[in-house]
Amino acid sequence: MRRSLGIFLALLIAAALLPVLPVTAAPGQFAGVTVNVLTFTGPQIAEPLQRRGPAFGRLTGAKINVVTVPFSDLYQKILTDMATGTNSFHVFVFAPQWMADYVTPGYLEDLTPRVNADTALQWNDIGTFFRDFSATYGGRIYTIPLDGDFQMVYYRTDVLQRQGLQPPRTWEDYLRIAAATHKKDLNGDGRADFGSCIAKKRNAQSYWMVWSVAGNFLQAKGTSEGSFFDVDSMKPLVNNDAFAEALRIYVETGKYGPPDELNWDVGDSRGGFTSGRCALTLDWGDIGTLAIDPKTSKVKNKVGAVIIPGTRRVLDRKTGKLVACSSSTCPHAVGGINHSPFAAFGGWSGGINKAAPAKVKEAAYAFLSYMSQPAQANADVTIGITGFNPYRVSQFRNTALWVKAGMSQAAARNYLGAIEASLRSPNMVLDLRIPQNQRYEQVVLDTAIAKLLAKEINIQQAMKEIFDGWEAITNELGRDKQLAAYRATLGVKR
Amino acid sequence: MAQAFAATRPRAARRLRSPYSPSPSGAVLSYAVLGFWAIVVLFPIFWIFVTSFKLPIHVLDGPVYLPFIDFQPSGHAWRYIFVDLRNDTLRPFINTVVVALTSSVLALALGTAAAYGLLRFPYRPRLGAILLLLGAAGLAAVAVAAGVPWVPAVLAAAILFLVLRRWAGQRIGRSFGNDDIAFWMISQRILPPVAVVIPIYVMFQRLHLLDTQLALIITYMTVNLPIVVWLMRDYFRQISIELEESAAIDGASPFRIFLSIVLPLSTPGLVATFLLVLVFSWNEYLLALFLTSANAQTLPLSIAAQNATRGPQWWYMSVLILIMITPVIAMAIALERYIARGLLVGAIKG
Amino acid sequence: MLKVRARSGAGPVGPVPLLRVGGAGTWMERQARSLFLMPAVAMLVALSIFPLCVSLYLSLTRLQFVPGGFRLPFVGLANYRKLIFGIERVHFLGVLAALSPLFWLLFAVVATGLLVFVIRSLRAPESGARGLAGRVFFAAVAGLLVWLLLRALTPGGRPGSLFVTLIYVIVGIAVQYWLGLALAFLASQDLAGRRFFRVVFLLPMMITPVGIAYTFRILFDLGKGPFAPLWQALGLAEVSWVNFPWGARAAVMIGDIWQWTPFMFIVLLAALESLPAELLEAAQVDGASRWQMFWKVMWPQILPVSSTVILIRLIEAFKIIDLPNVLTNGGPGTATESLTLHAFMAWRTLDIGGSAAVAYMLMFLVTFSATAYISFVHRRVAEAA
């Protein structure tokens, strides 16, 4: 009895002392901090986060916990996590296009002071567009760019060469090339192939593809001019000759495409292009790395990229008509052609939950900065599986990394040259980023385009449907509020 | 005793075969049609199986059919799912197994009890009491929405209901019977999940049960209760009451009767219902989509997640589908007799 | 209502209270009563009724984000008005054109049928005032639905998600039933290897609908699917079902039929197999041909089971979402969008009120259909049996 009492007392004292005993300290300033990162089920985007998390942990002692949800639910999950106060995540890797719905209610942490004090990040190495527009909202920085999303046109160098065609500079060129290459056998398998493959499936990526065409006609005076609405009246810019012409071109590309193009999403169009069945395609940067992967590609080193084809006629906003490009109407034209590369979706970036504990926020920022720093980022953008596309100036200067990944020197120079031309363009189109932009784009715009492509309505009706739909949403949410938000998303303040 | 037992076994157990054997030409026709449909059923499954061994280029370039003959099979998809994604595959699988099994067992427990009760005991709820119950629940809901912690709110509502029950019943005296209650329970199946999913989400969020297995278990159990009540009620109806009455006379409590006499007699029905509910829970997608993020993610969500920004990753998807259907098919094959017999409810003639 | 039926030879069943020797019910028994039923009732109230009420409230609001969080301001019936009269009308009801002569004829036939139905109940007063009111209500709503449906299907019209869902349900169940019945009959015969067919035919039901949807998506693909060489050989390489609304709807229905015919098959087969041998032998002795034996003897016997299994499938079929979502995302245009998909897409873009409104319309539709079916078909079949 005495002995067991003694043992019991000893255990009790030991248990009491346990918290006081010195714990083996982990190296680094964030020892014991766990950062929960939410993004979508990859491997794209999630893989580099998961791969580099442990390395970051060794440097700083923080534990990076990457959680993934299906892509189509990411927007919802982020919003409901913050809006309902659940706050189980500290870092979100998402598309800046969604920022409007997260910043307006005040859910995201303002990163401006941290970025300004961070030299390792090399903020000025990041492309101007991503720095000043994508990561910024209302003049404050809310995200760290990890990826550069903008669209380019890709073409088969061998096919164009065979037919003596030059890469397209305008959309009329694009249609001409598509017509000339349609129904020819482009990959040697005996089947007729297609001139142009664009992801036109409803509720997938079609509403970005159409804007890659339309933006060129609608915006010529620089990013701040905006392409969706008039900056003074908030009237949608979809009821005019320029948008009609863009729709006409978009519908006509279907003449030179696969018969079931209406059901092709970006997986099908990329698959079609890399298996050699398409002469032209419109896509984000992934084709560059997908084309050199032997598991997916039959067109290695036969792929060229070019800045989005432009137009020689742009919209005159006062009259609603198309006018020829001149130095006053198209100040940024190259060779008389106005190009407006569309930064569709914005480029995956990391944002921080404002409601996270202070120490976790510090660790979270350090992790995002780590991921974006050239030492890590420049390697990741050359690896296809990461899903990261170039967004830093230093990334498209150095062809060595790309050659190491498997591209030929010529292909690398061509690919990076197209990226550079796009990134350096002062006329990049910023994706719509006002509150509830999903309803504008995914509900109204996408449905109208789907019906137009299905020939349920004609171009005039489609334009009217988009106009009416957008006006209804704007009026419902408050015209002045939406206008202020639209202006804020296009403005730059430091 | 054995005679009584035999006499009360459900009719369906005396499976009789059709006395009609087809003529030779009839047999040929029958085999042709049945064989055709068997091919229709098996071909997509074959396609899934083969696709799980294909490289992306084999899928995207055009169809290839037979491994080793049309293309070199590769284990990359299997390796990715089992090795690279190890925990990200194991976790959804375990979630699916746990959630499906637990919710099915619970649904069966509550549902058979309710079905038996509705068949053997007279219930006569009064409209007044029902309205009071709804009113109390509504008041509790409003209180919780306004910020009152839910335990006292629910407790207060429960006490209110119990106290005022009789008074309300006397004020509005229209009473309902067992059949009405049964109809109400079964009609809950009509409810489209998409109509109730947001309030359920908010409820679980308040209880801090989001993204847990428990939330899914509770939800699936409730969603499948109507089926269990429906099927088991019709199944119990076939059991003669004399056996239970004699046991009651001998002094057995209702619980004893239920557990040791009625349930053993209804084993085929129980097994069939269990399997049906299990399959529903195993394959359910919409509710899991809303109520889980990552920790409680189930396999159907993993399948859908393979369609991310790069388009559907058919090869990974095929592996996941095969993982999902193998256990269920094994169970179905083993218990196929029970399924048929048990599903046949309520209207056997003779 | 599922009436209690007297069973021959098995003694009285039904809510006969278990009488105790010496008392009407002890404390234990009274508690047993509650304990058997209350847990199930409580769960249903908590997770079905309560969310239903909240959902009703949500359908009368509109989600708004404001600095600090979000608000749900009350907007009354605006969401419903949008669906029936407003900007979502084409999405929900469709394009309603003037009826062509053929469709006028169809409508006249249906309207006459409904009228006769109501008049007959006037003549037979046993159902009482409430029964009559129910029939009139049913006839009115059914008539309105049929009129709108015909206006959406007539040349120049286009069905919206409401009618597309109805078409999926009606066509789907019809095909599933007859196909399941045929297969069940064939499999009920004395054939070697019957068990193999029974097991194999069960498989499609076991696969998760999302998986089936993706499988059919690649099966139907013109370029990557296994039938691609067949389409090309038939000269159909340029034509895609994707571009035609009815083609796309057919694709969805084929997938649905593939998945759910097993359900009909397995139940009907069990029913056929448990028919007593004497019945069929007697018919055989009477000289009935195979055809007659099936239609005059077997089929009427399994009518009650048929009715039940159709009811079960009816209730489930209205909720179709995975196939249209994965095959075409609701396209071309909005041709394949079902009501659940419509609500789901609205929810995804944060139109919570609109999503709840569509979900409620779906519930009205299913409740109406199921109640009508139970009252006018199921009960009659069950009583006749």
CA distance A186 to chain B (A): 12
Residues of chain B neighbouring C51 (CB-CB closer than 8 A): 195-200, 203
Q: How far apart are CA A179 and CA A168, in angstroms?
A: 12
Rounded CA gap, A267 and C74, in Å? 41
- Is the pLDDT at C2 greater than 80, yes or no? no
CA of A307 vs chain B CAs: smallest distance (Å): 21
Has residue A24 got a pLDDT over 60? no
Q: Do the beta carbons of residue A95 and residue A343 sit within 8 Å? A: no
Burial B58-73 (b: 16+ CB within 10 A, else e): bbbbbbbeeeeeebee
Q: Residue A26 has what pLDDT?
A: 38
- Is B151 exposed, middle or buried, given 0-12, 13-18 or 19+ CB atoms closer than 10 A? exposed
Q: Do A262 and C331 touch (CB under 8 A)?
A: yes
Q: Please tell me the distance in Å from A444's CA to the nearest CA on chain B.
A: 22
CATH code of the domain containing C184: 1.10.3720.10
Average confidence (pLDDT) over A35-42: 88
Does A226 lie at the interface with B, CB-CB under 8 angstroms? no
Instruction: Please judge whether A270 and B297 are an interchain contact, meaning their C-beta atoms are less than 8 angstroms apart.
Output: no
Which residue from C64, C330, C351 is facing A203, i.e. has the nearest CB? C330
When pLDDT is averaged across residues C188-208 and rounded to a whole number, the result is: 87
Model pLDDT for residues C323-361, shown as the tens digit of each residue: 998 888 887 888 899 999 999 888 887 788 888 999 999
Strands (E), chain B: 307-308, 311-312
Do the chains contact at C14 and B283, CB–CB below 8 Å?
A: no
**What pLDDT is stored for residue C29 in this prediction?**
66
Pairwise pLDDT comparison (A381 vs C15), residue with the higher score: A381
At residue A22, the pLDDT reads 29
Q: Which fold has domain A152-343+427-490?
A: D-Maltodextrin-Binding Protein; domain 2 (3.40.190)
- pLDDT value at residue A14: 45
Those residues with Cβ within 8 angstroms of residue B255's Cβ, 6 or more apart along the chain or in another chain = C32
Task: Provide the token pair at A373.
Answer: 């720093």
Contact B305 A191 (CB under 8 A): no
The predicted structure's pLDDT at residue B145? 64
Contact B308 A40 (CB under 8 A): yes
Chain-centroid distance of CA A48 in Å reads: 17
pLDDT per residue over C277-321, tens digit each?
788 888 878 777 777 788 888 888 888 888 888 988 999 999 999
CA C377 – CA A27 distance, rounded (Å) = 75
CA B222 – CA B226 distance, rounded (Å): 8
* A447 touches A202 (CB < 8 A): yes
ipTM exceeding 0.85, yes/no: no
**Model confidence at C22, in pLDDT bands (50, 70, 90)?**
very low
Fold match, A34-147+345-405 / A152-343+427-490: yes
Q: Omega into C332 within 30° of 0, i.e. cis?
A: yes
pLDDT at C19 exceeding the cut of 50: no
Q: Does residue C11 carry a pLDDT above 70?
A: no
Lowest-confidence pick of B214-218, C79-83, C130-134: C130-134
Tokens of A370: 């780590």
Q: Distances from the Cα of A314 to the Cαs of A84, A248, A405, C45, in angstroms?
A: 45, 15, 40, 61
pLDDT mean over C117-145? 82
pLDDT-based confidence at residue C67 (cuts at 50, 70, 90): low
Nearest by Cα to C357 from C38, C1, C61: C61
Given pLDDT bands bounded at 50, 70 and 90, which one contains residue A21? very low
The fold for domain A34-147+345-405 equals D-Maltodextrin-Binding Protein; domain 2 (3.40.190)
Q: Is residue C130 part of a domain?
A: no
At C253 the pLDDT is: 95
Instruction: Tell me which residues of chain B, numbers 71 to 100, contact chain C at a CB-CB cutoff of 8 Å.
Output: none
Q: Are strands A136-137 and B311-312 parallel, antiparallel or unpaired?
A: unpaired
Chain B residues with CB under 8 Å of C272 CB are: 18
Across the interface, which of B57, B211, B310 has its CB nearest the CB of A267?
A: B310
Among A443-457, B101-115, B148-162, C145-159, the range scoring the smallest mean pLDDT is: B148-162
Q: In 3D, which of C138, C153, C159 has the Cα closest to residue C106?
A: C153
What pLDDT, on a 0 to 100 scale, did the predictor assign at position A384?
76
Predicted pLDDT of residue B179: 80
Distances (CA, A) of A353 to A50, A82, C295: 19, 8, 68
**Better-scored residue on pLDDT, B8 or A132:** A132
> Does A71 sit within 8 Å of B60, measured CB to CB?
no
Which candidate from A101, A451, A454 shows the least CB-CB separation from C65? A101
Report how far residue A86's alpha carbon sits from residue A212's, in angstroms, rounded to the nearest whole number.
Answer: 37
Cα–Cα distances (Å) from A473 to A186, A433, A439, B333, in that order, read 45, 14, 8, 54
Mutate to test the interface with A, among C81, C224, C231, C350 (most CBs of A within 10 A): C350
Mean pLDDT of all residues in A437-451: 90
Mutate to test the interface with B, among A37, A40, A41 (most CBs of B within 10 A): A41
Contacts of B65 (CB under 8 A, 6+ apart): B50, C226
Give the model's pLDDT for residue A418. Answer: 92
Cα(B290)–Cα(B166) distance, integer angstroms: 40
Mutation target to probe the A interface, by most A beta carbons within 10 A, among B61, B314, B317 is B61
**Is residue C352 less than 8 Å (CB to CB) from chain B?**
yes
CB contact (8 A) between residue C226 and residue B47:
yes
pLDDT for res B206: 77
What confidence score (pLDDT) does residue B350 get?
A: 25
The phi-psi region of residue A4 (left if phi > 0; otherwise alpha if psi is between -120 and 50; otherwise beta) is alpha
d(CA A38, CA A68): 6
Q: Are strands B311-312 and A143-145 parallel, antiparallel or unpaired?
A: unpaired
Are B105 and B312 in contact by the 8 Å Cβ rule? The answer is no
Contact partners for chain A, using 3 or more CB pairs closer than 8 A, are B, C
The answer to whether B288 contacts chain C (CB < 8 Å) is no
DSSP assigned state of A338 = B
**Inter-chain Cβ pairs, chain A and chain C, closer than 8 A:** 109
Among B15, B50, B103, B191, most C C-beta atoms within 10 A, so best to mutate, is B191
Q: In chain A, which residues have their Cβ closer than 8 Å to the Cβ of B313?
A: 267
What per-residue confidence (pLDDT) applies to C69?
65
Contacts of C363 in chain B (CB under 8 A): 190-192, 195
Question: Are C95 and C150 contacting, i.e. CB atoms less than 8 angstroms apart?
Answer: no
- Cα(A228)–Cα(A342) distance, rounded to whole angstroms? 12
Q: Determine, for residues A44 and B55 on separate chains, whether the beta-carbon distance falls below 8 Å.
A: no
Mean pLDDT lowest among B335-339, C7-11, C71-75, C200-204: C7-11
Question: Does the beta carbon of C22 lie under 8 angstroms from any beta carbon of chain B?
Answer: no
Among the partner-chain residues B56, B57, B301, the one whose CB lies closest to the CB of A70 is: B301
Say whether C333 and A468 touch across the interface (CB within 8 A).
no
Whole-number percent of chain A with pLDDT over 90: 51
Query: Does A1 have pLDDT greater than 70?
Result: no
Query: Does residue A300 sit at the C interface (CB-CB below 8 Å)?
Result: no
Phi, psi of B33 (to 5 degrees): -65, -50
Which range among A156-160, A249-253, C299-303 shows the weakest confidence by mean pLDDT? C299-303
A387 φ/ψ sector (left φ>0, alpha ψ -120 to 50, else beta):
left
Contacts of A259 in chain C (CB under 8 A): 222, 237-240, 242-243
Q: Say yes or no for a CB contact (<8 Å) between A44 and B211.
A: no
Kindly tell me the burial class for residue A282, based on how many C-beta atoms sit within 10 Å of its own C-beta (0-12, 13-18, 19 or more): buried
Enter the pTM of the model: 0.84
* Residue ranges, CATH 1.10.3720.10, chain B: 96-123+189-350
CB contact under 8 A, C345 and A263: no
Q: Is-contact A236 A470, C-beta < 8 A?
A: yes
From the number of C-beta atoms within 10 Å of its C-beta (0-12, 13-18, 19+), residue C91 rates as buried
Distance between CA B142 and CA C46 in Å, rounded?
14
**Tokens 């006006």, residue?**
A471
Inter-chain residue contact A105 with C158, CB threshold 8 Å = no
Which helix (H) or strand (E) segment holds residue A94: the answer is: strand A91-94
Chain C residues closer than 8 Å to A182 by CB: none
**Candidates A38, A45, A295; nearest CB to B56:** A295
CA C57 to chain centre: 26
Q: Hey, what amino acid is at A322?
A: L
Q: The dihedral of CA A174, A176, A179, A184: what is its sign?
A: negative
- State whether residue C24 sits within 8 Å of chain B by CB: no
B chain contacts of residue A72, beta-carbon cutoff 8 Å? 304, 307
Q: What's the whole-number mean pLDDT along residues C246-274?
A: 90
Query: What average pLDDT does range A336-365 have in this prediction?
Result: 92
Between B and C, how many CB-CB pairs are < 8 A?
A: 381
Locus of tokens 């534990």: A63
Q: Judge contact between C84 and C147, C-beta under 8 A.
A: no
Contact state of C343 with B221 under an 8 Å Cβ cutoff: no
Handedness of CA B221, B223, B224, B229 (dihedral sign): positive
Per-residue pLDDT at A7: 54
- CATH superfamily, domain B96-123+189-350, is MetI-like (1.10.3720.10)
Question: Residue A131: is its pLDDT beyond 90?
Answer: no
Question: Residue C177: inside a domain, yes or no?
Answer: yes
Residue A362 in tokens: 């510090």
Residue in C43, C208, C276 closest to B110 by CB: C43
Q: What is the mean pLDDT of each run of 10 residues along chain B (350 residues)?
A: 39 45 82 93 93 87 83 87 82 93 95 89 80 79 69 81 80 79 84 84 82 93 91 80 82 82 83 87 90 86 81 88 90 74 47
Helix axes C303-317, C352-373, angle to 10 degrees: 170
Flag if A267 and B311 touch (Cβ within 8 Å): yes
Dihedrals φ, ψ of B126, to 5°?
Answer: -95, 150
Contact call for B57 and A298, based on CB within 8 A: yes
Measured between alpha carbons, how far is residue C241 from residues A8, C95, C152, C210, C229 in Å?
78, 22, 21, 21, 16
Q: How far apart are CA A125 and CA A244, in angstroms?
A: 38
Question: Domain residue spans in chain A?
Answer: 34-147+345-405, 152-343+427-490
Q: Is the dihedral of CA A322, A325, A327, A330 positive or negative?
A: positive
B58: nearest CA partner in chain A: A296
Do C312 and C199 form a contact (C-beta atoms < 8 A)? Answer: no
CB contact under 8 A, A454 and C335: yes
Nearest C-alpha of chain A: how many angstroms from C324?
Answer: 12
Total count of domains within chain C: 1
For residue C119, give how far its alpha carbon lies from the nearest alpha carbon of chain B (Å): 28
Q: Could you list the residue range(s) of the whole structural domain that residue C236 is in?
A: 51-96+157-384
Q: A75 contacts in C (CB within 8 Å)?
A: 348
- pLDDT (average), residues C66-72: 69
